[in-house]
Structure 1
Amino acid sequence: MSVLHKIGKTVEERVRRDRAQQSEEELLAQIEALGWQPKDFRALFDRRGFNVIAEVKLASPSRGDIAPQLKPLEVAKAYLDNGAAALSILTEPLFFKGDIAYLKAIRAAHPDAYLLQKDFVVDPYQLYQAKAAGADAILIIVALLGEEGSAEILRTARKLGLTALVEVHNEEEMAIATRIGADLVGVNNRNLKDLTISLDVSLQLRPLAPKNARLIGESGIETHEDMHRLHAAGFHGFLVGTSLMRTGKPGEALARLIQHAH
Protein backbone atom coordinates (compact mmCIF):
# COMPACT_ATOMS: atom_id res chain seq x y z
CA MET A 1 0.00 0.00 0.00
CA SER A 2 1.36 3.44 -0.94
CA VAL A 3 1.89 6.19 1.62
CA LEU A 4 -1.01 8.05 0.01
CA HIS A 5 -3.41 5.18 0.57
CA LYS A 6 -2.10 4.60 4.10
CA ILE A 7 -2.97 8.21 4.84
CA GLY A 8 -6.36 7.70 3.20
CA LYS A 9 -7.14 4.77 5.53
CA THR A 10 -6.34 6.84 8.62
CA VAL A 11 -8.53 9.66 7.29
CA GLU A 12 -11.44 7.24 6.87
CA GLU A 13 -11.08 6.35 10.55
CA ARG A 14 -10.95 10.03 11.49
CA VAL A 15 -14.12 10.74 9.52
CA ARG A 16 -15.92 7.88 11.28
CA ARG A 17 -14.97 9.31 14.66
CA ASP A 18 -15.92 12.86 13.68
CA ARG A 19 -19.24 11.83 12.17
CA ALA A 20 -20.15 10.00 15.38
CA GLN A 21 -19.69 13.26 17.25
CA GLN A 22 -21.29 15.62 14.71
CA SER A 23 -23.59 14.71 11.83
CA GLU A 24 -23.74 16.36 8.40
CA GLU A 25 -27.03 17.92 9.43
CA GLU A 26 -25.43 19.46 12.51
CA LEU A 27 -22.54 20.76 10.42
CA LEU A 28 -24.98 22.29 7.92
CA ALA A 29 -26.82 24.01 10.76
CA GLN A 30 -23.48 25.32 12.02
CA ILE A 31 -22.57 26.61 8.55
CA GLU A 32 -25.94 28.35 8.25
CA ALA A 33 -25.53 29.98 11.66
CA LEU A 34 -22.05 31.20 10.74
CA GLY A 35 -23.25 32.54 7.41
CA TRP A 36 -19.91 31.75 5.75
CA GLN A 37 -19.87 32.27 2.00
CA PRO A 38 -16.64 30.96 0.40
CA LYS A 39 -14.85 33.28 -1.98
CA ASP A 40 -14.12 32.37 -5.59
CA PHE A 41 -10.66 30.88 -5.11
CA ARG A 42 -10.24 30.10 -8.80
CA ALA A 43 -10.75 33.76 -9.74
CA LEU A 44 -7.44 34.60 -8.05
CA PHE A 45 -5.69 32.89 -10.94
CA ASP A 46 -7.55 34.60 -13.76
CA ARG A 47 -4.64 37.01 -13.74
CA ARG A 48 -1.37 35.58 -14.94
CA GLY A 49 1.51 36.32 -12.64
CA PHE A 50 3.52 34.99 -9.75
CA ASN A 51 0.54 34.08 -7.58
CA VAL A 52 1.84 32.08 -4.64
CA ILE A 53 -0.32 29.83 -2.48
CA ALA A 54 1.92 29.78 0.58
CA GLU A 55 1.56 26.65 2.68
CA VAL A 56 1.41 26.34 6.46
CA LYS A 57 3.13 22.97 6.82
CA LEU A 58 4.80 21.72 9.99
CA ALA A 59 5.77 18.20 8.85
CA SER A 60 5.45 15.68 6.02
CA PRO A 61 6.01 11.94 5.52
CA SER A 62 8.99 12.53 3.23
CA ARG A 63 10.68 15.26 5.31
CA GLY A 64 9.58 14.51 8.87
CA ASP A 65 9.45 17.62 11.04
CA ILE A 66 9.89 20.73 8.89
CA ALA A 67 9.21 23.57 11.28
CA PRO A 68 7.69 22.24 14.53
CA GLN A 69 8.69 25.40 16.40
CA LEU A 70 6.55 27.69 14.26
CA LYS A 71 2.99 28.70 15.17
CA PRO A 72 0.53 28.39 12.26
CA LEU A 73 -1.30 31.62 13.08
CA GLU A 74 1.95 33.58 13.07
CA VAL A 75 3.10 31.91 9.85
CA ALA A 76 -0.19 32.80 8.16
CA LYS A 77 0.14 36.47 9.12
CA ALA A 78 3.74 36.57 7.92
CA TYR A 79 2.76 35.06 4.58
CA LEU A 80 -0.12 37.49 4.05
CA ASP A 81 2.05 40.45 5.06
CA ASN A 82 4.66 39.39 2.49
CA GLY A 83 2.63 38.94 -0.65
CA ALA A 84 0.89 35.54 -0.55
CA ALA A 85 -2.08 35.45 -2.93
CA ALA A 86 -3.62 32.67 -0.83
CA LEU A 87 -2.79 30.24 1.95
CA SER A 88 -2.82 26.45 2.05
CA ILE A 89 -3.49 25.12 5.54
CA LEU A 90 -2.54 21.51 6.34
CA THR A 91 -5.24 19.92 8.48
CA GLU A 92 -4.13 16.25 8.36
CA PRO A 93 -2.94 15.42 11.91
CA LEU A 94 -0.97 12.16 11.84
CA PHE A 95 1.44 12.55 8.94
CA PHE A 96 1.56 16.34 8.57
CA LYS A 97 0.86 17.48 12.15
CA GLY A 98 -1.98 19.63 10.88
CA ASP A 99 -5.25 20.47 12.59
CA ILE A 100 -8.56 21.87 11.40
CA ALA A 101 -8.30 24.20 14.40
CA TYR A 102 -5.47 25.96 12.56
CA LEU A 103 -7.80 26.69 9.66
CA LYS A 104 -10.51 28.02 11.98
CA ALA A 105 -8.07 30.27 13.83
CA ILE A 106 -6.54 31.65 10.63
CA ARG A 107 -9.98 32.33 9.18
CA ALA A 108 -11.05 34.15 12.34
CA ALA A 109 -7.91 36.30 12.26
CA HIS A 110 -8.00 36.94 8.49
CA PRO A 111 -11.61 37.05 7.25
CA ASP A 112 -10.61 38.34 3.81
CA ALA A 113 -7.81 35.84 3.11
CA TYR A 114 -8.20 33.14 0.47
CA LEU A 115 -7.79 29.79 2.22
CA LEU A 116 -7.30 26.30 0.81
CA GLN A 117 -7.87 23.43 3.21
CA LYS A 118 -5.09 20.93 2.45
CA ASP A 119 -6.24 17.49 3.53
CA PHE A 120 -6.83 14.05 2.07
CA VAL A 121 -10.50 14.08 1.19
CA VAL A 122 -12.08 10.62 1.12
CA ASP A 123 -15.65 11.48 2.11
CA PRO A 124 -18.05 14.34 1.26
CA TYR A 125 -18.46 14.84 5.03
CA GLN A 126 -15.04 16.52 5.06
CA LEU A 127 -16.31 19.28 2.78
CA TYR A 128 -18.96 20.23 5.32
CA GLN A 129 -16.18 20.39 7.92
CA ALA A 130 -14.07 22.52 5.59
CA LYS A 131 -16.86 25.01 4.96
CA ALA A 132 -17.73 25.17 8.68
CA ALA A 133 -14.05 25.95 9.39
CA GLY A 134 -13.99 28.81 6.87
CA ALA A 135 -12.30 27.29 3.83
CA ASP A 136 -12.73 28.77 0.37
CA ALA A 137 -11.23 25.77 -1.39
CA ILE A 138 -10.51 22.08 -0.88
CA LEU A 139 -8.13 19.57 -2.47
CA ILE A 140 -9.16 16.61 -4.61
CA ILE A 141 -6.33 14.10 -5.10
CA VAL A 142 -7.20 12.03 -8.17
CA ALA A 143 -4.59 9.39 -7.26
CA LEU A 144 -6.46 8.78 -4.00
CA LEU A 145 -10.07 8.98 -5.17
CA GLY A 146 -10.06 7.74 -8.77
CA GLU A 147 -12.48 9.10 -11.35
CA GLU A 148 -15.80 8.31 -9.69
CA GLY A 149 -14.71 9.51 -6.26
CA SER A 150 -13.14 12.68 -7.65
CA ALA A 151 -16.31 13.49 -9.60
CA GLU A 152 -18.46 13.00 -6.48
CA ILE A 153 -16.29 15.27 -4.34
CA LEU A 154 -16.20 17.90 -7.10
CA ARG A 155 -20.01 17.91 -7.33
CA THR A 156 -20.34 18.23 -3.55
CA ALA A 157 -17.78 21.04 -3.41
CA ARG A 158 -19.63 23.04 -6.05
CA LYS A 159 -22.94 22.45 -4.28
CA LEU A 160 -21.41 23.94 -1.12
CA GLY A 161 -19.81 26.86 -2.96
CA LEU A 162 -16.27 25.58 -2.40
CA THR A 163 -13.61 25.71 -5.10
CA ALA A 164 -11.91 22.38 -5.79
CA LEU A 165 -8.21 22.23 -6.62
CA VAL A 166 -7.95 18.94 -8.54
CA GLU A 167 -4.47 17.47 -8.12
CA VAL A 168 -2.89 15.23 -10.77
CA HIS A 169 0.46 13.48 -11.14
CA ASN A 170 0.39 11.89 -14.59
CA GLU A 171 -1.34 11.74 -17.98
CA GLU A 172 -4.05 9.33 -16.86
CA GLU A 173 -5.01 11.57 -13.93
CA MET A 174 -4.99 14.68 -16.15
CA ALA A 175 -7.41 12.89 -18.48
CA ILE A 176 -9.67 12.21 -15.49
CA ALA A 177 -9.48 15.88 -14.45
CA THR A 178 -10.61 16.80 -17.96
CA ARG A 179 -13.48 14.31 -18.00
CA ILE A 180 -14.89 15.41 -14.63
CA GLY A 181 -14.81 19.08 -15.64
CA ALA A 182 -12.04 20.38 -13.37
CA ASP A 183 -11.37 24.09 -13.87
CA LEU A 184 -8.57 24.52 -11.31
CA VAL A 185 -5.87 21.87 -11.70
CA GLY A 186 -2.76 21.38 -9.59
CA VAL A 187 0.09 19.44 -11.16
CA ASN A 188 2.10 17.74 -8.41
CA ASN A 189 5.70 17.24 -9.49
CA ARG A 190 6.27 14.46 -6.95
CA ASN A 191 6.42 10.87 -8.16
CA LEU A 192 4.21 8.95 -5.74
CA LYS A 193 6.13 5.71 -6.24
CA ASP A 194 9.65 6.87 -5.38
CA LEU A 195 8.90 10.40 -4.02
CA THR A 196 11.36 12.03 -6.45
CA ILE A 197 10.46 15.51 -7.67
CA SER A 198 10.90 17.01 -11.13
CA LEU A 199 9.38 20.16 -12.62
CA ASP A 200 9.43 18.32 -15.95
CA VAL A 201 6.19 16.66 -14.80
CA SER A 202 4.41 20.02 -14.99
CA LEU A 203 5.90 20.82 -18.37
CA GLN A 204 4.93 17.44 -19.81
CA LEU A 205 1.35 17.56 -18.53
CA ARG A 206 0.67 21.21 -19.39
CA PRO A 207 -0.47 20.53 -23.00
CA LEU A 208 -2.94 17.90 -21.77
CA ALA A 209 -4.76 20.15 -19.29
CA PRO A 210 -8.46 21.00 -19.67
CA LYS A 211 -8.75 23.90 -22.11
CA ASN A 212 -10.11 26.57 -19.73
CA ALA A 213 -8.50 25.35 -16.51
CA ARG A 214 -6.27 27.51 -14.35
CA LEU A 215 -3.06 25.62 -13.56
CA ILE A 216 -1.16 25.49 -10.27
CA GLY A 217 2.36 24.06 -9.98
CA GLU A 218 2.93 22.00 -6.83
CA SER A 219 6.01 20.46 -5.16
CA GLY A 220 9.64 21.25 -5.87
CA ILE A 221 9.20 24.99 -6.42
CA GLU A 222 12.06 26.55 -4.50
CA THR A 223 13.47 29.45 -6.54
CA HIS A 224 12.28 32.30 -8.70
CA GLU A 225 13.80 30.44 -11.66
CA ASP A 226 11.43 27.54 -10.94
CA MET A 227 8.46 29.92 -10.99
CA HIS A 228 9.64 31.59 -14.19
CA ARG A 229 9.99 28.21 -15.87
CA LEU A 230 6.44 27.18 -15.02
CA HIS A 231 4.99 30.65 -15.63
CA ALA A 232 6.46 30.66 -19.15
CA ALA A 233 4.75 27.31 -19.77
CA GLY A 234 1.35 28.75 -18.84
CA PHE A 235 0.95 28.10 -15.13
CA HIS A 236 -1.18 30.60 -13.22
CA GLY A 237 -0.07 29.94 -9.64
CA PHE A 238 2.43 28.13 -7.46
CA LEU A 239 1.90 26.19 -4.25
CA VAL A 240 5.03 26.56 -2.13
CA GLY A 241 5.47 25.23 1.39
CA THR A 242 8.47 23.19 2.46
CA SER A 243 11.13 25.50 1.02
CA LEU A 244 9.60 28.47 2.86
CA MET A 245 8.83 26.75 6.16
CA ARG A 246 12.24 25.13 6.60
CA THR A 247 13.96 28.55 6.64
CA GLY A 248 12.37 29.23 10.03
CA LYS A 249 11.27 32.64 8.69
CA PRO A 250 8.73 31.73 6.02
CA GLY A 251 7.33 35.25 5.56
CA GLU A 252 10.75 36.68 4.77
CA ALA A 253 11.53 33.74 2.49
CA LEU A 254 8.28 34.33 0.59
CA ALA A 255 9.06 38.04 0.20
CA ARG A 256 12.46 37.19 -1.34
CA LEU A 257 10.94 34.59 -3.66
CA ILE A 258 8.31 37.00 -5.00
CA GLN A 259 10.73 39.95 -5.22
CA HIS A 260 13.24 37.99 -7.29
CA ALA A 261 10.49 36.65 -9.56
CA HIS A 262 9.47 40.13 -10.74
Structure 2
Amino acid sequence: MDAARERPGGDARVSVEARSFPDAVSATEADGRVPLIAEVKPTSPTTDGVREDDPVELAREMVAGGATALSVLTEPEHFGGSTESLSRIREAVDVPVLRKDFILREEQLDAVESDLVLLIARFVGDDLPDLVAAARDRGFQPLIEVHTREELTAALAAGADIVGINNRDLGKLEVDLGTFEKLAPEVPDDVLLVAESGVHTTEDVQRMRMREAGADALLVGTAIMDGNVRQNTRRLTTST
Protein backbone atom coordinates (compact mmCIF):
# COMPACT_ATOMS: atom_id res chain seq x y z
CA MET A 1 0.00 0.00 0.00
CA ASP A 2 2.96 2.35 0.39
CA ALA A 3 3.40 2.52 -3.38
CA ALA A 4 -0.32 3.14 -3.87
CA ARG A 5 -0.29 5.94 -1.30
CA GLU A 6 2.56 7.69 -3.07
CA ARG A 7 0.96 7.67 -6.51
CA PRO A 8 0.16 11.22 -7.60
CA GLY A 9 -3.24 12.76 -8.11
CA GLY A 10 -4.30 15.15 -10.84
CA ASP A 11 -3.02 18.61 -11.65
CA ALA A 12 -6.36 20.22 -10.80
CA ARG A 13 -9.45 19.39 -8.79
CA VAL A 14 -12.02 17.58 -10.95
CA SER A 15 -15.74 18.24 -11.05
CA VAL A 16 -17.86 15.40 -12.38
CA GLU A 17 -21.37 15.26 -13.78
CA ALA A 18 -21.94 11.64 -12.91
CA ARG A 19 -24.25 9.24 -14.68
CA SER A 20 -26.54 7.84 -12.01
CA PHE A 21 -25.70 4.29 -11.04
CA PRO A 22 -28.90 3.74 -9.00
CA ASP A 23 -30.98 4.88 -12.00
CA ALA A 24 -29.07 2.50 -14.28
CA VAL A 25 -29.70 -0.38 -11.86
CA SER A 26 -33.43 0.43 -11.75
CA ALA A 27 -33.63 0.58 -15.54
CA THR A 28 -31.93 -2.80 -15.88
CA GLU A 29 -34.27 -4.42 -13.39
CA ALA A 30 -37.28 -2.89 -15.14
CA ASP A 31 -36.03 -4.56 -18.32
CA GLY A 32 -36.04 -7.93 -16.54
CA ARG A 33 -32.26 -8.33 -16.49
CA VAL A 34 -29.64 -8.70 -13.76
CA PRO A 35 -27.77 -5.44 -13.04
CA LEU A 36 -24.12 -6.16 -13.75
CA ILE A 37 -20.96 -4.08 -13.40
CA ALA A 38 -18.67 -5.65 -15.99
CA GLU A 39 -14.98 -5.16 -15.28
CA VAL A 40 -12.35 -4.23 -17.85
CA LYS A 41 -9.41 -5.98 -16.20
CA PRO A 42 -6.33 -6.60 -18.41
CA THR A 43 -4.73 -8.75 -15.69
CA SER A 44 -4.63 -9.26 -11.93
CA PRO A 45 -2.73 -11.20 -9.25
CA THR A 46 -5.55 -13.78 -9.26
CA THR A 47 -5.70 -14.42 -13.03
CA ASP A 48 -3.36 -16.01 -15.56
CA GLY A 49 -2.03 -14.09 -18.53
CA VAL A 50 -2.81 -10.66 -19.93
CA ARG A 51 -5.74 -9.57 -22.09
CA GLU A 52 -4.27 -7.24 -24.74
CA ASP A 53 -7.45 -6.23 -26.61
CA ASP A 54 -8.22 -2.53 -26.94
CA PRO A 55 -9.97 -1.68 -23.64
CA VAL A 56 -12.49 0.51 -25.48
CA GLU A 57 -13.56 -2.37 -27.72
CA LEU A 58 -13.89 -4.65 -24.70
CA ALA A 59 -16.03 -2.03 -22.97
CA ARG A 60 -18.29 -1.61 -26.00
CA GLU A 61 -18.78 -5.37 -26.21
CA MET A 62 -19.72 -5.52 -22.52
CA VAL A 63 -22.30 -2.78 -22.98
CA ALA A 64 -23.63 -4.56 -26.07
CA GLY A 65 -23.98 -7.67 -23.90
CA GLY A 66 -26.16 -5.78 -21.44
CA ALA A 67 -23.79 -4.42 -18.79
CA THR A 68 -25.47 -1.86 -16.52
CA ALA A 69 -22.15 -0.22 -15.70
CA LEU A 70 -18.44 -0.77 -16.22
CA SER A 71 -15.58 -1.07 -13.77
CA VAL A 72 -12.22 0.06 -15.13
CA LEU A 73 -8.93 -0.68 -13.39
CA THR A 74 -6.60 2.31 -13.22
CA GLU A 75 -3.94 0.67 -11.04
CA PRO A 76 -0.96 0.14 -13.40
CA GLU A 77 1.47 -2.10 -11.53
CA HIS A 78 -0.58 -5.19 -10.66
CA PHE A 79 -3.67 -4.83 -12.86
CA GLY A 80 -2.36 -3.28 -16.08
CA GLY A 81 -4.81 -0.40 -15.80
CA SER A 82 -4.49 3.29 -16.60
CA THR A 83 -6.40 6.52 -16.20
CA GLU A 84 -6.06 7.01 -19.97
CA SER A 85 -8.01 3.80 -20.62
CA LEU A 86 -10.75 4.92 -18.26
CA SER A 87 -11.05 8.29 -20.00
CA ARG A 88 -11.26 6.66 -23.41
CA ILE A 89 -13.84 4.13 -22.23
CA ARG A 90 -16.03 6.75 -20.56
CA GLU A 91 -16.08 8.79 -23.76
CA ALA A 92 -17.06 5.70 -25.79
CA VAL A 93 -20.00 4.40 -23.69
CA ASP A 94 -23.12 5.86 -22.12
CA VAL A 95 -23.31 3.73 -18.96
CA PRO A 96 -21.86 4.67 -15.55
CA VAL A 97 -18.15 3.93 -15.17
CA LEU A 98 -16.51 2.96 -11.88
CA ARG A 99 -12.87 3.79 -11.27
CA LYS A 100 -11.35 0.79 -9.50
CA ASP A 101 -8.07 1.58 -7.78
CA PHE A 102 -6.43 1.90 -4.39
CA ILE A 103 -7.41 5.49 -3.60
CA LEU A 104 -5.88 6.48 -0.29
CA ARG A 105 -5.46 10.27 -0.47
CA GLU A 106 -7.94 12.99 -1.47
CA GLU A 107 -5.79 14.35 -4.30
CA GLN A 108 -5.80 10.93 -5.95
CA LEU A 109 -9.50 11.49 -6.65
CA ASP A 110 -8.41 14.16 -9.14
CA ALA A 111 -6.44 11.78 -11.37
CA VAL A 112 -9.36 11.16 -13.77
CA GLU A 113 -13.10 11.72 -14.14
CA SER A 114 -15.46 8.78 -13.61
CA ASP A 115 -19.01 8.30 -12.40
CA LEU A 116 -18.22 6.13 -9.39
CA VAL A 117 -15.04 5.68 -7.37
CA LEU A 118 -14.08 2.67 -5.30
CA LEU A 119 -13.06 3.29 -1.70
CA ILE A 120 -11.82 0.15 0.06
CA ALA A 121 -12.58 0.31 3.79
CA ARG A 122 -9.78 -2.12 4.63
CA PHE A 123 -7.11 0.20 3.24
CA VAL A 124 -8.64 3.62 3.87
CA GLY A 125 -9.26 3.09 7.58
CA ASP A 126 -10.08 6.17 9.64
CA ASP A 127 -9.86 8.42 6.58
CA LEU A 128 -13.02 6.90 5.09
CA PRO A 129 -15.53 9.63 6.14
CA ASP A 130 -13.29 12.39 4.78
CA LEU A 131 -12.69 10.56 1.49
CA VAL A 132 -16.41 9.88 1.05
CA ALA A 133 -17.14 13.57 1.55
CA ALA A 134 -14.31 14.62 -0.78
CA ALA A 135 -15.54 12.26 -3.48
CA ARG A 136 -19.10 13.56 -3.26
CA ASP A 137 -17.89 17.16 -3.31
CA ARG A 138 -16.41 16.42 -6.73
CA GLY A 139 -19.58 14.77 -8.00
CA PHE A 140 -18.44 11.16 -7.71
CA GLN A 141 -20.68 8.37 -6.41
CA PRO A 142 -18.52 6.48 -3.88
CA LEU A 143 -18.83 2.69 -3.82
CA ILE A 144 -17.46 1.60 -0.46
CA GLU A 145 -16.05 -1.91 -0.45
CA VAL A 146 -16.17 -4.03 2.71
CA HIS A 147 -15.32 -7.62 3.64
CA THR A 148 -15.98 -7.77 7.39
CA ARG A 149 -18.71 -6.69 9.80
CA GLU A 150 -16.39 -4.04 11.25
CA GLU A 151 -15.74 -2.57 7.81
CA LEU A 152 -19.46 -2.54 7.05
CA THR A 153 -20.13 -0.67 10.29
CA ALA A 154 -17.48 1.89 9.34
CA ALA A 155 -18.91 2.28 5.83
CA LEU A 156 -22.44 2.92 7.13
CA ALA A 157 -21.12 5.36 9.73
CA ALA A 158 -19.39 7.24 6.89
CA GLY A 159 -22.75 7.63 5.16
CA ALA A 160 -22.37 5.00 2.45
CA ASP A 161 -25.33 4.70 0.10
CA ILE A 162 -23.60 2.22 -2.25
CA VAL A 163 -21.82 -0.70 -0.56
CA GLY A 164 -19.89 -3.49 -2.22
CA ILE A 165 -19.37 -6.70 -0.24
CA ASN A 166 -16.21 -8.33 -1.54
CA ASN A 167 -16.28 -12.12 -1.31
CA ARG A 168 -12.50 -12.11 -1.70
CA ASP A 169 -10.32 -11.67 1.37
CA LEU A 170 -7.73 -9.21 0.06
CA GLY A 171 -5.21 -10.42 2.60
CA LYS A 172 -5.38 -14.12 1.70
CA LEU A 173 -6.90 -13.74 -1.82
CA GLU A 174 -9.37 -16.48 -0.91
CA VAL A 175 -12.98 -16.28 -2.16
CA ASP A 176 -16.07 -17.35 -0.23
CA LEU A 177 -19.54 -16.43 -1.52
CA GLY A 178 -20.76 -16.98 2.01
CA THR A 179 -19.17 -13.65 2.93
CA PHE A 180 -21.91 -11.81 1.07
CA GLU A 181 -24.62 -14.01 2.52
CA LYS A 182 -23.34 -13.34 6.03
CA LEU A 183 -23.10 -9.55 5.77
CA ALA A 184 -25.90 -8.64 3.37
CA PRO A 185 -28.74 -8.90 5.93
CA GLU A 186 -27.03 -6.17 7.98
CA VAL A 187 -27.15 -3.63 5.14
CA PRO A 188 -30.09 -1.20 5.39
CA ASP A 189 -32.73 -1.37 2.65
CA ASP A 190 -31.96 2.14 1.42
CA VAL A 191 -28.33 1.23 0.64
CA LEU A 192 -27.63 -0.09 -2.86
CA LEU A 193 -25.84 -3.41 -2.39
CA VAL A 194 -23.25 -4.85 -4.78
CA ALA A 195 -21.82 -8.38 -4.58
CA GLU A 196 -18.17 -8.46 -5.68
CA SER A 197 -15.85 -11.30 -6.67
CA GLY A 198 -16.33 -15.03 -7.08
CA VAL A 199 -19.29 -14.93 -9.46
CA HIS A 200 -18.61 -17.23 -12.43
CA THR A 201 -21.81 -19.09 -13.26
CA THR A 202 -25.51 -18.41 -13.62
CA GLU A 203 -25.95 -20.39 -10.40
CA ASP A 204 -23.58 -17.97 -8.63
CA VAL A 205 -25.64 -15.05 -9.93
CA GLN A 206 -28.84 -16.59 -8.62
CA ARG A 207 -27.20 -17.34 -5.29
CA MET A 208 -26.15 -13.70 -4.82
CA ARG A 209 -29.54 -12.38 -5.95
CA MET A 210 -31.79 -14.67 -3.93
CA ARG A 211 -32.73 -14.38 -0.27
CA GLU A 212 -34.26 -11.40 1.48
CA ALA A 213 -31.02 -9.39 1.36
CA GLY A 214 -30.01 -10.24 -2.18
CA ALA A 215 -27.58 -8.15 -4.23
CA ASP A 216 -28.97 -5.20 -6.17
CA ALA A 217 -26.05 -5.56 -8.59
CA LEU A 218 -23.02 -7.78 -9.20
CA LEU A 219 -19.47 -6.79 -10.06
CA VAL A 220 -17.84 -9.42 -12.28
CA GLY A 221 -14.40 -9.41 -13.84
CA THR A 222 -12.68 -12.71 -14.59
CA ALA A 223 -15.81 -14.60 -15.68
CA ILE A 224 -16.43 -11.91 -18.31
CA MET A 225 -12.86 -11.28 -19.44
CA ASP A 226 -12.17 -15.00 -19.93
CA GLY A 227 -13.48 -15.51 -23.47
CA ASN A 228 -16.08 -13.64 -25.52
CA VAL A 229 -16.95 -10.66 -23.33
CA ARG A 230 -20.27 -9.88 -25.04
CA GLN A 231 -21.51 -13.45 -24.74
CA ASN A 232 -20.25 -13.78 -21.17
CA THR A 233 -21.95 -10.54 -20.15
CA ARG A 234 -25.23 -11.52 -21.78
CA ARG A 235 -25.14 -14.95 -20.12
CA LEU A 236 -24.86 -13.46 -16.65
CA THR A 237 -27.28 -10.57 -17.13
CA THR A 238 -30.02 -12.95 -18.23
CA SER A 239 -29.57 -15.31 -15.26
CA THR A 240 -33.02 -14.67 -13.87
| 1:7-29 superposed Cα distances (whole Å, 9 cap, x missing partner) | x22122222xx56xx2xxxx23x
**Residue 94 in structure 1 maps to residue 74 in structure 2:** no
**Residue 54 in structure 1 maps to residue 38 in structure 2:** yes
**Residue 129 in structure 1 maps to residue 107 in structure 2:** no
Match of 1:193 in 2: 171
**Residue 84 in structure 1 maps to residue 64 in structure 2:** no
Partner-residue secondary structure (3-state), 1:70: coil
Normalising by the residue count of structure 2, what TM-score does the alignment of the two structures yield? 0.91
Aligned residues: 234
Structure 2: gaps spanning 5 or more residues: none
**Correspondence 1:76-225 to 2 at 5 A:** 76-110=59-93, 112-131=94-113, 135-146=114-125, 148-225=126-203
Distance 1:103 1:218 in 2: 20
Match of 2:3 in 1: 10
After superposition, the CA RMSD in angstroms is 1.7
**Contact 2:7/2:108 (CA < 8 Å) preserved in 1?**
no
Q: Percent identity?
A: 34
* Off by >6 Å, runs of 4+ in structure 1: none
**Contact 2:40/2:73 (CA < 8 Å) preserved in 1?**
yes
Distance 2:48 2:201 in 1: 22
Distance 1:203 1:64 in 2: 28
The partner residue of 1:238 within 179, 195, 218 is: 218
Normalising by the residue count of structure 1, what TM-score does the alignment of the two structures yield? 0.84
| 1:178-209 superposed Cα distances (whole Å, 9 cap, x missing partner) | 11111100000012232111110000001111
Structure 1: gaps spanning 5 or more residues: 1-7
Match of 1:43 in 2: 23
Distance 1:83 1:157 in 2: 28
Structure with the largest fraction of helix: 1
**Contact 1:130/1:138 (CA < 8 Å) preserved in 2?**
no
Match of 1:253 in 2: 232
Partner-residue secondary structure (3-state), 1:38: coil
Partner-residue secondary structure (3-state), 1:138: strand
| 1:198-242 superposed Cα distances (whole Å, 9 cap, x missing partner) | 110000001111341110000000111111111113210000011
Distance 2:25 2:237 in 1: 16
Distance 1:76 1:197 in 2: 25
CA pair 238-171 structure 1, distance change in 2 beyond 3 A: same
Distance 1:43 1:151 in 2: 24
Following superposition, the deviation at residue 122 of structure 1 comes to: 0.6
Following superposition, the deviation at residue 63 of structure 1 comes to: 2.2
Following superposition, the deviation at residue 64 of structure 1 comes to: 4.5
Match of 1:5 in 2: none
